[in-house]
Chains A and B, each alone.
Chain A
Amino acid sequence: MKNWISICILVAVAAGLWFSGRLAYRQASIPEHFRGRSEVLFWHFWGGADRDVVDDVVLRFNQSQSEYYVRAIAVPGNNLEAKLFLSIAGGDPPDLVNQDDPIVGDWGARGAIEPVDAFATQDELKQLERFLFPAARSLGSYRNRLYAICNGLDIRALYYNQTELERFGLQPPRTIDELNHIAQTISPPDSTTNPDYFAYLPDSRRLWAWGYVFGGKFYDERSSQVLLDSQPIQQATQWIAQFGRWYGSDTINVFRRGDQSLPGKTFPLLPVENDAMVGRYVLMMDGQWRTRDIDAFTRRRAELGLPAPTFGVCPLPFPTEGAPDAGWVNGNFFVVPRGAKNPRGAMAFMKFWIGVDDPQQAAVTCAQGGWIPVSQSVVDDLEFQSFLRRQPLFSEFVRLAASPNQHPVPVIPGALFLKRTVEHTAEAAISNPEQSIEQLLQRADARIQQRLDEMSHALR
Chain B
Amino acid sequence: MGQRRQIAGILFASPWIVGFLLLIAYPFLISIYWSFCRFDLINAPRWVGFDNYRRLVDEVASGDGFGLALQNTLYYALLSVPLSIVLGIGLAVMLSWNLRGQSVYRTIFFLPAMVPVVAASILWLWLLDPQDGIVNYLLGRLGVPPQNWLTQSRSAVSVAGLEQITGWWNGTRPLKLFGSKDALVLMALWSVGNAMIIFLAAMGDVPKSLYEAARIDGAGPLRRFWHVTIPMLTPVIFFNLVMGLIRSVQTFTSIYILSEGTGQPGQSMLVFSLHLFLSAFSDLEMGYASAMAWVMFVLLVVCTLLLFRTSKHWVHYRAMQ
Which A residues are closer than 8 A to B by beta carbons? Answer: 78-79, 81-82, 85-86, 88-89, 106, 110-112, 250, 253-258, 260-261, 338, 416-417, 420, 424, 427-428, 431, 447, 458
Measured between alpha carbons, how far is A172 from B284 in the docked complex, in Å? 44
Smallest beta-carbon distance A135→chain B, Å: 25
Q: Are B129 and A427 in contact (CB under 8 A)?
A: no
Complex contacts, B176 vs chain A, CB 8 Å: 250
Measured between alpha carbons, how far is A215 from B55 in the docked complex, in Å? 35
Q: Which 3 residue pairs across A and B have the least CB separation, nearest first?
A: A253-B151, A258-B131, A82-B281
Smallest beta-carbon distance A40→chain B, Å: 21
Q: Contacts A81-B281, A85-B281, A447-B64 known; A257 to B150 CB distance under 8 Å? A: yes
Measured between alpha carbons, how far is A106 from B43 in the docked complex, in Å? 13
- In the complex, what residue of chain A is closest to B41 when comparing beta carbons? A85
Complex contacts, B264 vs chain A, CB 8 Å: 424, 427
Complex contacts, A85 vs chain B, CB 8 Å: 40-42, 281, 284
Q: Are B281 and A111 in contact (CB under 8 A)?
A: no
Best-surrounded residue of A78, A82, A254, A427 (most CB of chain B within 10 A)? A254
Measured between alpha carbons, how far is A458 from B181 in the docked complex, in Å? 35
Q: Are A250 and B148 in contact (CB under 8 A)?
A: yes
Q: Contacts A78-B261, A416-B283 known; A257 to B130 CB distance under 8 Å? A: yes
The listed residue (B43, B130, B265) touching A110 by CB distance below 8 A is B43
Complex contacts, B265 vs chain A, CB 8 Å: 253, 427, 431
Smallest beta-carbon distance A104→chain B, Å: 14
Measured between alpha carbons, how far is A254 from B147 in the docked complex, in Å? 9
Which B residues are closer than 8 A to A by beta carbons? Answer: 38, 40-43, 64, 126, 129-133, 146, 148, 150-153, 176, 261-262, 264-267, 281-284
Q: Are B38 and A254 in contact (CB under 8 A)?
A: no
Smallest beta-carbon distance B311→chain A, Å: 39
Smallest beta-carbon distance A339→chain B, Å: 10
- In the complex, what residue of chain B is closest to A447 when comparing beta carbons? B64
Complex contacts, B146 vs chain A, CB 8 Å: 254
Q: Contacts A261-B132, A427-B264, A431-B153 known; A111 to B283 CB distance under 8 Å? A: no
Q: Contacts A85-B41, A110-B40 known; A257 to B284 CB distance under 8 Å? A: no
A sample of 14 inter-chain contacts (CB < 8 A) reads: A79-B281, A85-B40, A106-B284, A110-B40, A112-B40, A250-B148, A250-B176, A254-B146, A261-B131, A416-B282, A416-B283, A427-B266, A428-B266, A447-B64
Complex contacts, A250 vs chain B, CB 8 Å: 148, 151-152, 176
- Sample of 9 further A-B pairs with CB below 8 A, known A78-B261, A416-B282: A88-B41, A112-B42, A250-B176, A257-B150, A260-B129, A416-B283, A420-B262, A427-B266, A431-B266
Q: Are B41 and A86 in contact (CB under 8 A)?
A: yes
Smallest beta-carbon distance A416→chain B, Å: 7
Measured between alpha carbons, how far is A88 from B281 in the docked complex, in Å? 13
Measured between alpha carbons, how far is A51 from B83 in the docked complex, in Å? 46
Complex contacts, A420 vs chain B, CB 8 Å: 262
Measured between alpha carbons, how far is A431 from B148 in the docked complex, in Å? 13
- In the complex, what residue of chain B is closest to A262 when comparing beta carbons? B132
Measured between alpha carbons, how far is A417 from B284 in the docked complex, in Å? 11
Q: Contacts A86-B41, A416-B282 known; A258 to B148 CB distance under 8 Å? A: no
Q: Are A256 and B266 in contact (CB under 8 A)?
A: no
Q: Contacts A106-B284, A416-B283, A427-B266 known; A256 to B151 CB distance under 8 Å? A: yes
Q: Contacts A254-B131, A431-B266 known; A458 to B284 CB distance under 8 Å? A: no
Complex contacts, A81 vs chain B, CB 8 Å: 281-282
Smallest beta-carbon distance A142→chain B, Å: 15
Q: Contacts A110-B40, A261-B126, A431-B266 known; A253 to B152 CB distance under 8 Å? A: yes
Complex contacts, A431 vs chain B, CB 8 Å: 153, 265-266
- In the complex, what residue of chain B is closest to A259 when comparing beta carbons? B131
Smallest beta-carbon distance B205→chain A, Å: 38
Q: Are A254 and B281 in contact (CB under 8 A)?
A: no
Complex contacts, A110 vs chain B, CB 8 Å: 40, 42-43, 284
Smallest beta-carbon distance A288→chain B, Å: 23
Measured between alpha carbons, how far is A258 from B267 in the docked complex, in Å? 20
Complex contacts, B40 vs chain A, CB 8 Å: 85, 110, 112
Q: Contacts A256-B151, A258-B131 known; A338 to B284 CB distance under 8 Å? A: no
Q: Are B282 and A261 in contact (CB under 8 A)?
A: no
Q: Are B148 and A89 in contact (CB under 8 A)?
A: no
Best-surrounded residue of A250, A256, A431 (most CB of chain B within 10 A)? A250
Q: Are A261 and B129 in contact (CB under 8 A)?
A: yes
Complex contacts, B64 vs chain A, CB 8 Å: 447
Q: Are B42 and A88 in contact (CB under 8 A)?
A: yes
Smallest beta-carbon distance B290→chain A, Å: 15
Complex contacts, B133 vs chain A, CB 8 Å: 261
Measured between alpha carbons, how far is A106 from B283 in the docked complex, in Å? 9
Measured between alpha carbons, how far is A338 from B43 in the docked complex, in Å? 11
Q: Are A253 and B131 in contact (CB under 8 A)?
A: no
Smallest beta-carbon distance A197→chain B, Å: 12
Complex contacts, B267 vs chain A, CB 8 Å: 424
- In the complex, what residue of chain B is closest to A112 when comparing beta carbons? B42
Measured between alpha carbons, how far is A338 from B41 in the docked complex, in Å? 13
Complex contacts, A428 vs chain B, CB 8 Å: 266
Measured between alpha carbons, how far is A298 from B318 in the docked complex, in Å? 75
Complex contacts, B281 vs chain A, CB 8 Å: 79, 81-82, 85
Measured between alpha carbons, how far is A81 from B285 in the docked complex, in Å? 13
Q: Are A258 and B284 in contact (CB under 8 A)?
A: no
Q: Are B130 and A89 in contact (CB under 8 A)?
A: no
Smallest beta-carbon distance B270→chain A, Å: 10
Complex contacts, B283 vs chain A, CB 8 Å: 416-417
Q: Are A89 and B41 in contact (CB under 8 A)?
A: yes
